[in-house]
C-alpha cells in the first residue's frame, strides 16, 4: 500500500529530513508521489507520476528550503486507478476560502458515495472519491469555516463511513490543524525541548534536532511506519482520530 507523511509545527519547520526517509521507501511505492506545504492560507503543491527516488520534482524539493507549519506527503503504490498524474496524492480542494489537502493509504471496496455537490473527482481513485465526499459533507454540515474542535467533532462522525469499506488511513488539513485517522497502520511522534538526535530507519542519515531548534519549538510527525530509530513513535488504535495543532496533540475544549 501507499505511505503517508504529515507534519504539524508551531513555527515554520523544515520537513526534508522526514521526507528523505519517506522517499527512501519509494522503490516499492513507485507509482507517483506528492507533497503539499501550507504557507499561511497559501499552498505549495507538487505531484509527479514518477516515484520519489527518480523524480526530478522530488530532487528539486529536497534542495528547496521550504519551511511550513503543516505538510502532507504521500508515495503511491497503485491499487485503484491508473498510474497517472491525476491520481497522485495529496489531493487539493477549496472550501470556505481555504485550501484543503488530503492523502489516503488503503483500499475501499465497493465504495460509491453519491456526489451531488461541487466536489467531483478528476481521477479514478477511491481515495479522491472519499475526499470529495468528505468535502461535500463538511460543506453541508457548516455554513462557514468552524473552529478546530467543531471540525474535529464533525470528522469523527464522517470518517467511520468510508472506513467501513476497507482500510482508511488518512491525513487531512486546511492549514489550521493536521487531522490524522488511523485504520490499520499509522504512528505519530512529538518532538519538543530538550531535542535529541535521530537516525532514519531506512537510511544512514542522522540529525541533531537541538542544533536546528529553539526551546519553544514543537513538532509533531505522523507516518505510516516510524521513520526514525530512537524516538517514541506511538501507534494509532483502529479508528482513532488524532488532531495536531501547534506541533502538539490537541485536546478538545
* pLDDT tens-place string over residues 221-253: 999 988 888 888 999 999 999 999 999 999 864
Mean pLDDT of all residues in 144-167: 96
- The pLDDT > 70 percentage for the chain reads 83
Count the domains in the chain: 1
- In this prediction, residue 50 has a pLDDT band, given cuts at 50, 70 and 90, of confident
Q: What stretches of 164-238 adopt beta strand conformation (E)? A: 169-173, 178-182, 187-192, 197-200, 206-208, 218-223, 228-229, 234-235
Q: How far apart are CA 253 and CA 77, in angstroms?
A: 38
Q: What is the mean pLDDT of residues 204-231?
A: 78
Mean pLDDT for the stretch of residues 207-220: 75
157, 212, 145: which is closest to 181 by C-alpha? 157
What residues does 162 pair with on adjacent strands?
Answer: none
Name the residue with higher pLDDT: 131 or 124: 131
What is the pLDDT, as a whole number, of residue 198? 73
The answer to whether residue 212 scores a pLDDT higher than 90 is no
Of the chain, the percentage scoring pLDDT greater than 90 comes to 57
pLDDT per residue as tens digits for the range 165-179: 999 999 999 999 999
Average pLDDT over residues 97-103: 97
Please choose, from the candidates 244, 227, 230, the residue with its C-alpha nearest in 3D space to the C-alpha of residue 18: 227
Catalytic residues, by residue number, are 2
Q: Please check the confidence at residue 128 and state whether its pLDDT lies above 90.
A: yes
User: Looking at residue 186, what is its pLDDT?
Assistant: 96
Q: In what order do the strands lie in the sheet with 197-200?
A: 206-208, 197-200, 228-229
> Domain holding 157: CATH number?
3.60.20.10
* Per-residue pLDDT at 27 exceeds 70: no
Could you list the residue range(s) of the whole structural domain that residue 82 is in?
3-249
Mean pLDDT of 140-149: 93
Amino acid at each position: 500500500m501507499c505511505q503517508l507523511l504529515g507534519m504539524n509545527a508551531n513555527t515554520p519547520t523544515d520537513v526534508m529530513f522526514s521526507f528523505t526517509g519517506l522517499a527512501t521507501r519509494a522503490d516499492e511505492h513507485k507509482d507517483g508521489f506528492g507533497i503539499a506545504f501550507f504557507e499561511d492560507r497559501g499552498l505549495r503543491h507538487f505531484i509527479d507520476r514518477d516515484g520519489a527516488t527518480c523524480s526530478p520534482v522530488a530532487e528539486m524539493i529536497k534542495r528547496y528550503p521550504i519551511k511550513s507549519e503543516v505538510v502532507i506527503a504521500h508515495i503511491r503504490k497503485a491499487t485503484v486507478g491508473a498510474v497517472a498524474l491525476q491520481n497522485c496524492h495529496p489531493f487539493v480542494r477549496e472550501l470556505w476560502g481555504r485550501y484543503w489537502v488530503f492523502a489516503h493509504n488503503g483500499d475501499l471496496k465497493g465504495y460509491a458515495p453519491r456526489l451531488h455537490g461541487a466536489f467531483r473527482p478528476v481521477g479514478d481513485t477511491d481515495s479522491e472519491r472519499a475526499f470529495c465526499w468528505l468535502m461535500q459533507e463538511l460543506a453541508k454540515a457548516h455554513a462557514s469555516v468552524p473552529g478546530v474542535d467543531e471540525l474535529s467533532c464533525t470528522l469523527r462522525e464522517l470518517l467511520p463511513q468510508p472506513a467501513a469499506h476497507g482500510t482508511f488511513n488518512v491525513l487531512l488539513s486546511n492549514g489550521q490543524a493536521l487531522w490524522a485517522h488511523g485504520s490499520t497502520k499509522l504512528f505519530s511522534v512529538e518532538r519538543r525541548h530538550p531535542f535529541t538526535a535521530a537516525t532514519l530507519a531506512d537510511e544512514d542519515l542522522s540529525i541533531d534536532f537541538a542544533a536546528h531548534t529553539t526551546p519553544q519549538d514543537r513538532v509533531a510527525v505522523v507516518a505510516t511506519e516510524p521513520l526514525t530509530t530512537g524516538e517514541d513513535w506511538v501507534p494509532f488504535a483502529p479508528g482513532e482520530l488524532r488532531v495536531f495543532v501547534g506541533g502538539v496533540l490537541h485536546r478538545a475544549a
